[in-house]
Structure 1
Amino acid sequence: MAEFVHITRAGSARRMPRSGIAAVSHGWAGRRGVYCMPVLPSFTLTYQWVRELRRWHPGVLVAVHLRLPDDEPVTIGHYGAQPDEATAARAVARVRALDDPRGYEVFVPRAVTAAEVRRIRDVPQGVGWRYLPAAHGRRPCACPYCLRRGGFKAARLRRRFAYEEPPKPKNELMAELRAAETADEIIDVLAELGRGRRGGAEELAYLADHPDPHVRQTLESVLRVYRGSEARRLRDRIRRADSAESEPS
């Protein structure tokens, strides 16, 4: 029998010795099943997913130990990469043979029965890696996907490692817009103006009649973040002009 460990919330784990582990996760082929990790000689490597999974699952996490038949079909691979099909015994052997098994996972494409659940173990909540296996000493990614709002120290990390540069002041952007000579330069500045609310739209009215249709289309999109009736009037004006141009003569 091959032994694995499944990391889950403590509240969910209480019923697993009676009902098993439901197949709620999605594998690469679209099948539902259960993610787990082989039990290894190293405590840290066995429970390596705890720290990372805490970013997505609030509350206390525990380890559910389970045993599967050696010939049970599973998939094995590094997260984010196409996994390989194998038996449970071969998956354990493959992970044990790796120099660095961090980031590897086994997927069981079915539910785990109550008879296959062996025990539930409390584990330290800080064990393992976070963000990616070799993240220590590297700049964390502060994009909305990697750094969810409400996560541990998320606000501090977002301030320290900004995902995007802060938007330029409006007066600076308007100076660049007045100095822009090509349609591409105008579009670049308009895109910057569209990153936040910018007040009145009167200063952009002269671009509503620009000969380049891409400039007008960009302006119409940017005006959606502007307040007031002038922004709405300019958008309607651009749409009517574009409709008139597209009509056959």
Structure 2
Amino acid sequence: MAMFVHLTSSADAPRIRRSGIRAVSHGQGGLRGVYCFPVLPSYTLTHQWLRELARFGTRGGLVAVHLRLDDHEPVRVGRYPDRAREAQARVGAAEAVRRVAALEDPRGWEVFVPRPVRAAEIHRVRAVPQTVGWRYRPDAHGTRPCTCFGCAVRGEYGGRRLRERLPHPLDGPPPPPRELLTRISGTDDPAALREALHWFGMRRRGPVPELAHLAAHPDPTVREALVWAVARWSTPSVTDLLDRLADDPDDDVREAVAEVRS
């Protein structure tokens, strides 16, 4: 039997002891399952994912759930970046343990069990120190963190201060809305308008009435940028503005509206 550890919120421990581990579906081509890691001689490597997972919020800290799987149980094993390319190897559970244990540096590796884990397969649930492992990525300590829109985690503790201290040239933090509106009112240059709309697109709400006149701008790239800027806003009048742009004479603008509404 192969032994793995699954890290999860301590609030889920009673349910896991009673019913097992639920299947999730993140980054495995639509498959639902459970992420875990082989139990290795090194305590630190075994629990390496703890600090990274803690970044996304926990209820009462994380606990380690040890589970036993049959040696021939089909699993996927590979590095985290291979998940998106569906390039992780499909092997038995014992082979996954062997491959990870043979690595010179197994940091960033993971095992995916493509099904729920039954309660009978739970070996034990125990508390673990909350300071084990790496954050962001292995060897990230001492390197400048990335504050781009793709890497930043919304609502992360200290995230706003980090973005203000290390602003990204393309992804912010955005200038204040009043400054952006001043830029828009002071120019008719398409490039300058697109840049201001790019910054507006980083916000959750915005001044739709003050931007609505751009729906009639002669440059279609500005009108398309307006679509992407307001697409994620929760401002009520966004729907009316997108209805107007849905009948735009330019194909790209209409396609942008259709995409944000799909």
Give the drift of 1:30.
2.0
Q: Structure 2 CA distance, aligned partners of 1:155 and 1:219?
A: 25
Percent identical among aligned pairs is 47
Cα offset for 1:54?
A: 0.8
Aligned to 2:115: 110
The alpha-carbon distance between structure 1 residues 162 and 3, as it changes in their structure 2 partners (threshold 3 A), is: same
Other structure's SS at 2:111 match: strand
Letter in 1 for 2:24: V
1:81-133 CA distance string (max 9 Å, x none): 02100111110010011111011000111111111111112111121111111
Instruction: Read off the aligned partner of 2:35 and give its amino acid letter.
Output: Y
1:190, 1:218 within 8 Å by CA — same for their partners in 2?
no
Equivalent residue of 1:4, what SS?
A: strand
Aligned counterpart, 1:181: none
* Pair 1:77-2:78 in alignment: yes
Please give the residue correspondences for 1:85-104 in structure 2 after superposition, counting only pairs within 5 Å.
85-104=90-109
Task: Tell me the C-alpha RMSD between the 2 structures.
Answer: 3.6
Q: Name the structure 2 match of 1:7.
A: 7
Which residue of 120, 126, 129 maps to 1:121? 126
Alpha-carbon distance between aligned partners in 1 of 2:64 and 2:32, rounded to the nearest angstrom: 20
1:214 alignment counterpart: 220
Computing the radius of gyration from Cα coordinates, the structure with the larger value is: 1
Residues 183 and 196, structure 2, Cα contact 8 Å, conserved in 1: no
Cα contact 2:66–2:125 (8 A) shared by 1: yes
The C-alpha deviation readout for 1:26-85, integer Å capped at 9, x for no partner, is: 452422111100001111110011101112232311000011111111110001202100
- The equivalent of 1:191 in structure 2 is 194
Map 1:1-249 to 2 at 5 A: 1-26=1-26, 28-59=28-59, 60-81=61-82, 82-163=87-168, 164-165=171-172, 166-167=174-175, 169=179, 177=187, 186-194=189-197, 195-196=199-200, 213-214=219-220, 217=223
Q: Which runs of 5+ in 2 are unaligned?
A: 201-205, 234-239, 251-262
**Separation (CA, whole Å) in 2 of partners of 1:222 and 1:26:** 26
Q: TM-score w.r.t. structure 1 length? A: 0.73
CA distance in 2, matches of 1:45, 1:12: 23
- The total of aligned residue pairs comes to 222
Task: Give the TM-score of the pair, scaled to structure 2.
Answer: 0.70
Question: Is the Cα–Cα contact under 8 Å of residues 62 and 120 in structure 1 kept in the other structure?
Answer: yes
* Worse overlay, 29-38 or 3-12: 29-38
Structure 1 residue runs of 5 or longer lacking an equivalent are 179-185, 226-231, 244-249
The 1:99/1:172 distance shift into structure 2, 3 A limit, reads: same
Query: Secondary structure of the residue that 1:70 maps to in structure 2?
Result: coil
1:17–1:189 distance in 2 versus 1, CA, 3 Å = same
Deviation at 1:219, TM superposition (A): 8.6
